[in-house]
Amino acid sequence: MHEWKSEILQRLKGSRLAPAREAAIVDEWVQHLEDRFEELRRDGLSEHEARKTVLAEFNETDLLPLDLGPPAPHPPVQAGANKSGNWLVDLWHDLRYGLRAMRKNPAFTAVVVLTLGFGIGANTTVYTVVNALVLNPLPVERPSELVAVYETDKNRANVPVSYPNLEDIAQKNQSFTAVAGYTSILPLTFLSGSGTERVFAELVTGNYFETLGIRPALGRFFLPEESSTPDTHAVAVISNGAWQRRFGGASEILGRTVNLSNLTFTIVGVAPDGFRGVNAIFGPDFWIPAMMARAVEHRDVLNQRAGFDFHAAARLKPGVTSRQAQANLKAIGASLEKEYPEANLGRTLALGPLSEAALGDMKTSVLFGSTILMIIVGLVLLIACSNVSNLLLSRAAARKHEIAARLALGASRSRLMRQLLTESMLLGLIGGAVGLFLASQGGHLLWSALPSEFAKNLATLKVDTHVLVFALAVSLLTGLVFGIVPAARSSRTDIVEVLKEETRTAGRGRRGINFRNVLLSGQVALSLVSLATAALFLRAIEHAYMLDPGFDSRHLALIMTSPGQAGYDRTRSDQFYRDAAARVSGLAGIQSVTWASNLPFWNRATRSILIESREKRTTSDAIATIVNNVDLNYFATMGIPFRNGRDFTELDRDGSVPVAIVNETLASRYWPNQDPLGKRFKFSGDNFYRQVIGVVKTANYQSLGEDPQPCIYLPFRQNFSNAMVMYVRTAGRPESVLTGVQREIRAIDPLIFTDDTRTGGKLIDQVLFNSKMIVGLLAVFGILALGLACVGLYGIMAYSVNQRRREIGVRMALGAAQSNVMGLVLRQGMRLVAVGTAIGLALCFLIGSTLSATLYGVSATDPISLIGASMLLAIVAALACYLPARRASRVDPLTALRDA
């Protein structure tokens, strides 16, 4: 009703309300008065009376002053708070304000939080692994004092030391408070009520735990007398994990006996939780005194000065630097070489951080993998940051009015910037929380891909304080990185300009777009780098599978047996090997059966040799070689071709002339341009010569595509071993015969452990496992990077189409066809993609030289990888541009022009 309106306006005069606000109030009050009027009429009042009553009620001087400040969507800027200097109060206000702003825009918040979550999650996942394996691998006392002591010879750096050398180092040095030794992990057979099981043990010197500064969780560690006389004290310390797993964590474990490889050990102590030995990756179930070596290993490890059986860990004396210790070790090495030239010729001693020794053989691959993954997830995070930065810049355009209003109300620019940064940090923190969740899930997923047979002995991933601090730091830093540019830009907002509603002025907007374009091209470049890296490694793996390992890995089944661990002596073992081979040969689908002491790719150069007539060796002769004891028919079964000479026969046995077959690498190194057949050599420590009767092709012994290594094959009948691997060549799939083979062996003796089996294919898989793991992660992160970059591309294209609606409308009104408009937008987007791709390719070439050393037979500029990655990127990017382009082509010129 008209008169209500004029009454209300009269009443509101002087309130100086914004026109829109005033209209809303009038609307609301008119409705109220109208309702009241109608009610009075229904109550029977005449129209006149009713109107009079309504107006009287309306004009009542009321208890509340007419105070009609507009309901601000946000609390007013705390202009005065600056003066108070109470930053905590400011922070609190900023945080609340930030949270409210997020609630107001849930879609925006969700996109930002998820983008950051993925970026931070990827980083935290990789960091969790790096933290567990590389940064904090050893839960020991004062880890900085601990060093690893190695032997180094001409060909190989950092190999373990022999027990006699270890003892001499411990006695002769002036640098260490203690020197301890531990062997690599030995697989043993654990005999329990339910059957046989594979467990792992380490032989350690008596002072091992004390040197590391470890205290038992239960019981004690080794006593001096248990570590001084060989073969007398069968005691063991059990790992915390094995104690929980096998004995339910019962305290009665102390004094209990366990049967390990047919020896009875008494458990005297339990290692503390989290201690898995020096090796950070794989830990034993039991620690056994080194003095029990002969009984456990059936080798005279303790007296073999030429061996490489013990890793040495030493604790520096207070005040001794590692440089001084290094000099000291060098002197000891020289004296050991002089004193025992036969064993130690060409060997020196060296020292390194124990944390590196903790990675053992996997040091290179773990460090390399960690580095490259950290770099790639860093790129992913950068892309995420630039994405969010772009989103914030777009939103800043939408919030221009709010910001201008606050500046006009007296908020200082620095105060405003702090407010905006608080908002980004808050977003960063929430993203970080999501990231932490994703990382813990990712870690589980990653670890579940590990081979289950080893899983229980592997390092565990945990989200500890280090990881939490990392995630927090990354989140805050991320918030700062993506927030700083938008905040700085927003706080520079020109108040007058904005309040005059000049939103379409080109200057500032254009600059904003340009900066966003730079960010976008950067994202495209970085995601191309991640994709190309993943593609290169993928190609390398593919290539690795095609590499020739030097033997035929197809149709090959392997069964590890250890009659020695079942208590067999030499006679019984020999009988077992013969019986088992005979029984298995009789099975259907078996082409040939043989035995060898080594598993393919699990070889290690262990012995150095002396050539007849050249006993006065030069250091270049002092090369350690791989030794493999093999049965008849080994080379035929493995598909290793002979280059010269003959295979072993039944006649090559104890009592006949000791013979050997060598590989080409060894032959050409020791007898270059000569016929090696008939030449003689002996192992250091042996007192007899062996005659070379054959030369075979060099194979891969430790990894695929490795540098050629010398290898000597000995006839198993002249060189007994109480643990052998059965090699079975099958006609069909090797998996199908395994059960039958195991059954035949168990039929001979159920106590012989047969559960550890491999096929040729699985061997190759295992050799490539680390690389495959890294490639898998690289692929995931590459795709994540691509996804994030394309979401960013889509966002900016959609925003730009929206900004240019008027221009597009004009173009269409002037006769541009839909396809022209679409082409225009697509060209704009794809130009950015092209620039980004060019930069990305340039980066790939730059980092190529670093990568090439680690790629199996694939060039770092491999065209298939680079073109493939670029194509994938182009296709996905085109899709991201296509959607906004299609929207642009559907702009209705009329609407666009009218709205504008």
Partner 1 sequence: MRPNTDDREWKKGSAELLILSLVRDQARHGYDISKLIEARSNGALKFHVTSLYPLLYRLEERTWIEGRWVEKPGQRRRRYYRITAEGRKVLARQCQSWQEFVGAVKNITGIDYA
Measured from the CB atom, is 67 or 650 closer to partner 1? 67
Binding residues for partner 1 restricted to 331-350, rule: CB under 8 A: none
Residue 35 in the binding site for partner 1 (CB under 8 A): yes
Q: What is the DSSP letter of 492?
A: T
**What is the C-alpha separation between 442 and 134, in angstroms, rounded?**
19
Q: What is the DSSP letter of 252?
A: G
CB of 62 to partner 1, least distance (A): 4
| β-strand pairing of 348-353 with 263-270 | unpaired
Answer whether 877's CB lies under 8 Å from 786's CB.
Answer: no
Q: Which residues contact 173 (CB under 8 A, 6 or more apart)?
A: 179, 314, 325, 328, 329, 332
Residue from 18, 20, 66, 506 touching partner 1 (CB under 8 A): that is 66
Amino acid at the residue 490:
S
- Residues recorded for the chain: 900
Residue 361 in the binding site for partner 1 (CB under 8 A): no
Range in contact with partner 1 (rule: CB under 8 A) among 24-32, 431-439, 567-575, 697-705: 24-32
CB of 69 to partner 1, least distance (A): 7
Amino acid at the residue 520:
L
In 3-state terms, what secondary structure has residue 789? Answer: helix
Residue 26 in the binding site for partner 1 (CB under 8 A): no
Site residue total, partner 1 (CB under 8 A):
27
Measured from the CB atom, is 28 or 654 closer to partner 1? 28
DSSP conformation letters of 801-846: HHHTHHHHHHHHHTT--HHHHHHHHHHHHHHHHHHHHHHHHHHHHH
CB of 430 to partner 1, least distance (A): 19
How many CB atoms are located within 10 Å of the residue 759 CB?
A: 21
**What is the C-alpha separation between 719 and 703, in angstroms, rounded?**
26
Residue 32 in the binding site for partner 1 (CB under 8 A): yes
Measured from the CB atom, is 53 or 244 closer to partner 1? 53
**What is the C-alpha separation between 848 and 377, in angstroms, rounded?**
18
Residue 11 in the binding site for partner 1 (CB under 8 A): yes
**What is the C-alpha separation between 702 and 605, in angstroms, rounded?**
10
Measured from the CB atom, is 7 or 202 closer to partner 1? 7
Phi/psi for 464 (5° steps) reads: -100, -175
Residue 72 in the binding site for partner 1 (CB under 8 A): yes
Residue 18 in the binding site for partner 1 (CB under 8 A): no
Residue 69 in the binding site for partner 1 (CB under 8 A): yes
Residue from 22, 26, 33, 788 touching partner 1 (CB under 8 A): that is 33
Residue from 6, 9, 13, 31 touching partner 1 (CB under 8 A): that is 31
Measured from the CB atom, is 61 or 194 closer to partner 1? 61
Measured from the CB atom, is 56 or 506 closer to partner 1? 56
Range in contact with partner 1 (rule: CB under 8 A) among 56-64, 509-517, 627-635, 675-683: 56-64
Range in contact with partner 1 (rule: CB under 8 A) among 27-35, 212-220, 627-635, 650-658: 27-35
Q: What is the CA radius of gyration of the chain?
A: 38
CB of 57 to partner 1, least distance (A): 5
Measured from the CB atom, is 55 or 834 closer to partner 1? 55
- For residue 358, the surrounding DSSP H or E stretch is none
Q: Which residues contact 63 (CB under 8 A, 6 or more apart)?
A: none
613: left (phi over 0), alpha (psi -120 to 50) or beta: left
In 3-state terms, what secondary structure has residue 292? Answer: helix
DSSP H stretches of helix in 340-362: 341-344, 354-357
CB of 392 to partner 1, least distance (A): 24
Residue 29 in the binding site for partner 1 (CB under 8 A): yes
Residue from 9, 68, 409, 582 touching partner 1 (CB under 8 A): that is 68
Measured from the CB atom, is 39 or 899 closer to partner 1? 39
Answer whether 165's CB lies under 8 Å from 303's CB.
Answer: no
Residue 67 in the binding site for partner 1 (CB under 8 A): yes
Residue from 42, 62, 501, 898 touching partner 1 (CB under 8 A): that is 62
CB of 402 to partner 1, least distance (A): 16
Range in contact with partner 1 (rule: CB under 8 A) among 22-30, 108-116, 455-463, 669-677: 22-30
Residue 108 in the binding site for partner 1 (CB under 8 A): no
Q: Which residues contact 651 (CB under 8 A, 6 or more apart)?
A: none
Residue from 18, 20, 56, 107 touching partner 1 (CB under 8 A): that is 56
CB of 498 to partner 1, least distance (A): 24
Considering only CA atoms, which of 785, 773, 764 is closest in space to residue 550?
A: 764
Residue from 22, 25, 90, 421 touching partner 1 (CB under 8 A): that is 25
Residue from 5, 41, 45, 58 touching partner 1 (CB under 8 A): that is 58
| β-strand pairing of 218-219 with 235-238 | unpaired
Phi/psi for 146 (5° steps) reads: -90, 135
Answer whether 409's CB lies under 8 Å from 92's CB.
Answer: no
Answer whether 203's CB lies under 8 Å from 288's CB.
Answer: yes
Measured from the CB atom, is 72 or 546 closer to partner 1? 72
Amino acid at the residue 808:
I
Place of tokens 């060549």: 729
Residue 65 in the binding site for partner 1 (CB under 8 A): yes
Measured from the CB atom, is 28 or 273 closer to partner 1? 28
Residue 106 in the binding site for partner 1 (CB under 8 A): no
Residue 64 in the binding site for partner 1 (CB under 8 A): yes
Partners of residue 611 on adjacent β-strands: 681
Considering only CA atoms, which of 549, 527, 449 is closest in space to residue 856?
A: 549
In 3-state terms, what secondary structure has residue 200? Answer: strand
Measured from the CB atom, is 7 or 145 closer to partner 1? 7
CB of 197 to partner 1, least distance (A): 58
Range in contact with partner 1 (rule: CB under 8 A) among 67-75, 221-229, 297-305, 814-822: 67-75
Give residues in contact with partner 1 (CB under 8 A): 11, 24-25, 27-29, 31-36, 56-58, 60-69, 71-72
